[in-house]
A and B are shown apart, each in its own frame.
Chain A
């Protein structure tokens, strides 16, 4: 093996090869994972704001007893859209944004395994989000909650297109999730840099991989349930309708078979963000890497066996309830392993209290509170008292906002220099964090209390003599405080894009591979594909237990068109050169055809639906058409 320097013309050639075409065509046709990642992040934050405005509207209505700010029907639509937006259109897509942007950089690759599929999953996500929202201005938005229980949502009790939008919209979004997840799984298995064996991957990669495998197994349950509901509502089948021998509880089984694993899909990648970024601010590697990686996978595996804990109050047999109660409590074990690993990392490190550290430390506290209330609701006897009260609302906001939103915001501050080349302002960042953290606890902690006092969830108002008016006012004030903290955060973000301090490649002195390229990275990510020998390629000179040295300035050049290296799934031995597709309009065309199909199904325009379907088929055939291979045996490896 010999090495030669990469000459400047070669570098320019790489940039030219990987650059997206300029103008509208490039904007529509790009398959660059970095651009798609940023699009995911921006779109999901827009949905976060929409969901937030919905939440504030609900909180105005609930600020005092007997208010008439919203009509009951408006309240139903707003709380349903709030749940659907936050869970489906913000929480997972924002994590996809991070992973899309960061994975190839962290893995030492030039792109995801299927760049066009990546673009497709974004377009499908955007269009299905619009699809779910078309009803809202018309007063026809989904109104059955994000869980959408039958028989409330069957056509007898809820005629109109509200629920059809939900059912078709989530099938539509499910396609995006599944293709995106397949892409993550294959990217992980096949495109890691040589030497990055699975015990050297960043924890974020473990988190997203676990969540993606879970999505492949969980999303079909929801798509199927929604399809059955759509058939029941529009064609008179009897899956959930009692009159024809159908079973309303089948909906709940299918929904929670999906819904519970999905909750972990929303939190495992964000726990991965913390596991990767927190150690940087503690100036030491994560304590218990192997335990945390295994805990991630274990959480997901157990997560598939706990769906019935959402159904303790439905009259299931005691044996079933006992089993699922035990399974739900056991899941505290892997979660606790992760928490102790983070605490030990802080404890034995030399923490630097930068803004991202505040978010991650705050997250640990919220995660523990949410975990404890989760332990309480996992116990069937207690759950019978707490179910459908505000206690559950408090729990789910502590876990979902605590585990998803705080790491996401901390991660945004942490990777902002990589995205933009600039730093976010530290002082504004501290203000935003503290306003948000205090607002969050003001808004959600009292919900435990009003829940224990007996206030049911999903009601649009409550009587004065329930005695929870004061608490509810406090909750509303907290909600507005949380929202102003988020606005301050976004102001800081937008302002820093132009006036932030210039960052350089590695402003936090972090150990992982994405920090070895310039900020923002060049179109090809890496001039050469590096060769990895440890978990912390950029910290090797200061860590004692590292035997080998990664080679970040010596590696495979791969400049015959868009190419990256393919490696074996476990040990990451290079075994193939992957030729990647260039910019293409096919993903956008396929997404448009799919949108036509779904809008036509919603409007019952069967002919147009058929045309949309046919267009999608033709696009797919073009997509898969074999390309002639000029040189099946690569003549010049490398250099």
Chain B
């Protein structure tokens, strides 16, 4: 008959952060999504290298909307991080305002991006550049929208007081949102900054 051990110390149940399987699962998700963007950027570069005319066809894209929008998105990560840490350390009673503010900043990003799409002189199907431009920024936009949904669901659970201080859900939401922002930085550098030549 097997014997069971009586341990001296107790172990946590479904512990926070790296103790949970969810944290590692999110890491896998982020890896595979990150690689997806790497293949998108590879496609962008390959089409650009092989293009017969200039790349991008109409010259470098303007920064007037994209640059402030980038700053806004990166700022949203800072807001989320500061807010979540204050909640964790017990200085804030709730994360709901921070989650809503972050989601709002994300929503403004989406609207500005939409506006930028509208201002383009080319459409989705005009050529290789327009196809990859809209696909790459569109994939990112879809990720932002998914992130906003996640933040709103988290805010709802926070309002119902179902989120714990060291809990997993908030940690996963933060990881995903930061990932979306870091990916944007790479996309922004690829599409907007690299083609800017003096």
Contacts and interface: CB of A to CB of B under 8 A. Distances in A.
Contacts of A579: 13-14
B162 interface: yes
B40 interface: yes
A442 B12 CA distance: 60
Contacts of A557: 4-5
A220 B131 contact: no
B140 to A, nearest CB: 14
Interface in A248-264: 249-250, 253-254, 257
B46 A224 contact: no
B31 A216 contact: yes
Q: Which of B5, B11, B19 counts the most chain A CB atoms within 10 A?
A: B5
B4 A528 contact: yes
A189 B13 contact: no
A402 to B, nearest CB: 30
Given A186-B24, A626-B157, A556 B5 contact: yes
Interface in B4-41: 4-15, 19-21, 24-25, 28-29, 31-33, 35-36, 39-40
A623 to B, nearest CB: 11
Contacts of A216: 28, 31-32, 35
Interface string B27-68: 011011101100110110011001111000000000000000
Interface stretch (A84-92, A230-238, A319-327): A230-238
B124 A186 contact: no
Contacts of A621: 153
B121 interface: no
Contact of B127 (A244, A250, A631): A244
A575 B11 contact: yes
Contacts of B13: 563, 576-577, 579, 629, 631-634
Interface string A61-91: 0000000000000000000000000000000
B2 A5 contact: yes
A245 B32 contact: no
Contacts of B1: 5-6, 553
A254 B45 CA distance: 13
A281 B167 CA distance: 49
B134 to A, nearest CB: 8
A254 B6 contact: no
Contacts of A6: 1-4
B2 A221 contact: no
Nearest to B126: A244
B47 A555 contact: no
B78 interface: no
A532 interface: no
B10 A244 contact: no
B29 to A, nearest CB: 7
B190 interface: no
Nearest to A560: B13
Contacts of B189: none
B88 interface: no
Interface string A542-584: 0000000000111111000001011000000011111100000
Interface string B138-160: 00000000000100010001000
Given A186-B24, A239-B135, A634-B10, 5 more contacts: A114-B21, A220-B33, A245-B52, A528-B2, A575-B15
Q: Closest 8 CB pairs between A and B? A: A639-B4, A245-B128, A182-B28, A557-B4, A220-B36, A237-B131, A3-B3, A236-B125
25 contacts: A1-B7, A3-B4, A4-B3, A6-B3, A113-B25, A182-B28, A186-B24, A220-B32, A228-B135, A231-B131, A236-B125, A237-B125, A239-B47, A239-B132, A250-B47, A552-B2, A563-B13, A566-B15, A629-B13, A633-B10, A633-B13, A634-B10, A634-B13, A639-B5, A639-B6
Interface of A: 1-6, 10, 113-114, 117, 178, 181-183, 185-186, 189-191, 216-217, 219-221, 223-224, 228, 231, 235-239, 244-247, 249-250, 253-254, 257, 527-528, 552-557, 563, 565-566, 574-579, 617, 621, 624-626, 628-629, 631-635, 637-639
Interface of B: 1-15, 19-21, 24-25, 28-29, 31-33, 35-36, 39-40, 42-43, 46-47, 50-53, 124-129, 131-132, 135, 149, 153, 157, 162-164, 167, 169
